[in-house]
Every structure is written in C-alpha cells, then in structure tokens.
C-alpha cells in the first residue's frame, strides 16, 4: 500500500459543478436531493452512506452540469467528508427546523468547509428543511437567519416534501458558485485540477491567496 494515489477521476467534464449536501443525520438531505433530481419525495428514512447524482439544468439560461453528492449525516463518516469537502465547489448545509441538534451542527460544518477550503467565504447556502412541519418546529426562523447572517451565507427554508424552495436552493448555490468562480477568475473550478498537472496548469491556482 505504498502511497499510491489514483488520479483517475471519472467524469472529468470541465463544466461540472460539484454540489455537496451536508448536514446532520435525518434532516432530509437525501429527500431534498432526490426531490431536486427526480422530483419525488422519498418517504423512507434509510440512512445514506454517500450517493451521487448528476443533473443537467439551465440556471440563468446557462447550461450546467451538476454533480450532487448526498452525504451521510452521521459523524461517524466524518473522514469521508475530508474527501468530498475538498472537491466540492458549493455546499448546501442542511438542517431540520424540527431538530435542534441538527441546527447546532451547522456552525461546525461551516467552519469545517471554510477551513478545508482555506477561505473565509465559499459558496455555501444554509437550508432549513422540513419547513412544512411547522408545528414541530424547534428552530425559529429568525434564529436560523441570524446564524446565516453571522456566517455570511444565505438562508433558505424549504420543504422537500412539498417541494418548496428545493430548486431555488440548488439554483442559488449554482449561482453562488459561478459568481465565486468568476471572482476567483477561475472560470470553472472543477475538480479535474486534482490531476497531476504540469506547472503551467498549476498557475491557474495562483490566485489562491493564502495567509
């Protein structure tokens, strides 16, 4: 097992945006994702290990290919995060408005992403799911907004069940990513630069200013 690293990354199309859905366990990440991709609401609550989907859609009249990674909410899988957090170009941090615990985890996830990306800001959207369960709500809207404000990220409340704000969440993140990548003067921030590249290619990354 000498440090072999496999750089063959499947699906290396240039324009793929990698959206990662993160959040606590059972908050509806999969439901949200599947609602977005396949337009139906999954009733079962089977825990996800890691699912990935691709979808092509028009956002602001630009075609984009999305690769959406639906992740496990359990802390136990946290090392995997390392991997997908590093490769994600945009993140949806999902919590359930009915679950205080999941809300508490938001901050930690945000911090994690920022640190891994080594940026203070990154395309991230805070998503409060299960907004339909108003009577079971444990996280007030203003609390979530407050937190989002503090983290300087947008907040959306949605319901995977009612398909409320689902597309919006994903489209918004796409816009954010685009804007971010534009700002970075890196037209497409794809994961293909993970490949061993020649120095010339590395230049692209020069504008990452670190410390």
Partner 1 sequence: MSCINLLYCPLVIAGELWAWITAIYFALVGKLVACCGCCRKKEDAGDVEAGIQMAPAAKAAPVAKAAGASVTDRAVATEAELEPMLGKQDQKEDHGACYAIHDETNGGQLGGESLDRRGWSATSTAGNRTTLTASVHNNMMNGRMSSSSHNLSTRLSGSSQNLNQGPTNAYGFPIVPPANNPSDSSAGSRIASIFRLRSNPLKRTKSVSKMEKSLAEANQHTLHRVDAQTPSRDSSLYAQPPARRHLSQPAREGSLRACRSHESLLSSAHSTHMIELDNENCLHPIHASIMDVPNCFRMQQTYYACRSQNERAKWMEHLRRSMNPRRDLQKRTENSLLIWILEGKGLPAKRKYYCEMTLDKTLYGKTSAKARGDNVFWGENFEFQMLPKIEEICISLFRESDSKKKKDTLIGYVIIGIDQLASKSPVERWYTVNNTQQDSSASRIASALGGKSSSQEVQSIRIKARWQSVDVLPLRVYDRLSELLTYNYLDLCQQLEPVLNVRDKEDFATSFVRVMYKQNCAVEYLADLVMAEIGKLDNDNLMFRGNTVATKSMESFMKLVASDYLEFTLRDFIMTVVACEDSCEVDPQRLGNVPSSVLEKNRALLTRYVEVAWTKIINSVHMVPKILGKVFATLRLRLEAQNRGEHAETIISSSIFLRFLCPAILSPSLFNLVAEFPSINNARNLTLIAKTLQNLANFSKFGGKEPHMEFMNTFVDREWNRMHEFLLEISTESKSVGPDKSADAIVDAGKELSLIGSYLEEVWSPLLQEKNLNKPLGEVKQVLTELAEAKRRPDHAIFHSPMVQQPSSDYENSPQQNVVPRHENVPAYRSTPPTGQATVMGRSMNRPATHLMTSDDYVLSSAFQTPSLRPARLSDETGTSSSRTSDKTTSSAEIRDDTDSDFELRDELGRGVRNRKRLPRTDASPSSSQQASSGYMSNNPSRSSYSNSSSSSPVERMAALSIANPVFGPGPSAGFSIPAEPKEIVYQKRASPPPYDPEVHQYHYQPMQVYAVPPDCQPSPRGQSVPGIASQNRLSLPRTNPRASRTSALLRPSVVNVPDDWERQGDYWRDTHQMDQYRARDEMIKNQAREIERLTRENLELKNQIMTSTKLVDSKRSDSGASEDSYDSLSSLDRPTRKSLVVLPN
Q: How far is Cα 156 from Cα 152, in angstroms, rounded to an integer?
A: 13
Q: Shortest approach of partner 1 to residue 125 CB, angstroms?
A: 20
Of 97, 102, 110, the residue nearest 20 (C-alpha): 110
Contact residues: partner 1, CB under 8 A: 1-11, 24-26, 30, 34, 38, 40, 42, 44-54, 70, 73-80, 82-83, 86, 99-102, 104-105, 108, 112, 115-116, 118, 136, 191, 193-200, 202-203, 205-206, 208, 210-211
Token look-up 């999305």 returns: 66
Q: Shortest approach of partner 1 to residue 61 CB, angstroms?
A: 24
Q: How far is Cα 4 from Cα 143, in angstroms, rounded to an integer?
A: 46
How far does the chain reach from its first CA to its final CA, in angstroms? Answer: 34
Q: Shortest approach of partner 1 to residue 33 CB, angstroms?
A: 9
Point out which residues pair with 66 in neighbouring strands: 17, 55
Query: Among residues 25 and 123, whose Cβ is nearest to partner 1?
Result: 25
Q: Shortest approach of partner 1 to residue 122 CB, angstroms?
A: 15
Q: How far is Cα 76 from Cα 108, in angstroms, rounded to an integer?
A: 15
Report the interhelical angle of 141-151 vs 100-117 (nearest 10°): 10
Query: Among residues 151 and 175, whose Cβ is nearest to partner 1?
Result: 151
Token look-up 């290396």 returns: 12
Query: Among residues 168 and 193, whose Cβ is nearest to partner 1?
Result: 193
Query: Among residues 107 and 149, whose Cβ is nearest to partner 1?
Result: 107
Query: Among residues 175 and 181, whose Cβ is nearest to partner 1?
Result: 181
Q: Shortest approach of partner 1 to residue 47 CB, angstroms?
A: 5
């Amino acid at each position: 097992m000498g440090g072999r690293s496999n750089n063959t990354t499947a699906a290396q199309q240039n324009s793929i945006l990698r959206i990662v859905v993160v959040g606590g366990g059972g908050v509806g990440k999969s439901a949200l994702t599947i609602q977005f991709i396949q337009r139906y609401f999954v009733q079962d609550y089977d825990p996800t290990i890691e699912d990935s989907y691709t979808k092509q859609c028009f956002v602001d009249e630009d075609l984009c290919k999305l690769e959406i990674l639906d992740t496990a909410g359990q802390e136990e899988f946290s090392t995997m995060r390392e991997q997908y957090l590093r490769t994600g170009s945009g993140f949806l941090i999902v919590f359930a408005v009915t679950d205080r615990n999941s809300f508490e985890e938001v901050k930690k996830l945000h911090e994690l992403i920022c640190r891994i990306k080594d940026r203070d800001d990154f395309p991230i959207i805070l998503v409060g799911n299960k907004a339909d369960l108003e009577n079971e709500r444990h996280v007030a809207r203003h609390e979530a907004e407050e937190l989002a404000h503090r983290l300087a990220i947008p907040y959306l409340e949605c319901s995977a069940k009612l398909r409320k704000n689902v597309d919006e969440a994903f489209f918004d993140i796409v816009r954010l990513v685009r804007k971010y990548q534009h700002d970075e003067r890196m037209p497409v921030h794809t994961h293909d630069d993970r490949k061993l590249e020649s120095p010339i290619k590395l230049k692209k990354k020069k504008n990452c200013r670190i410390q």
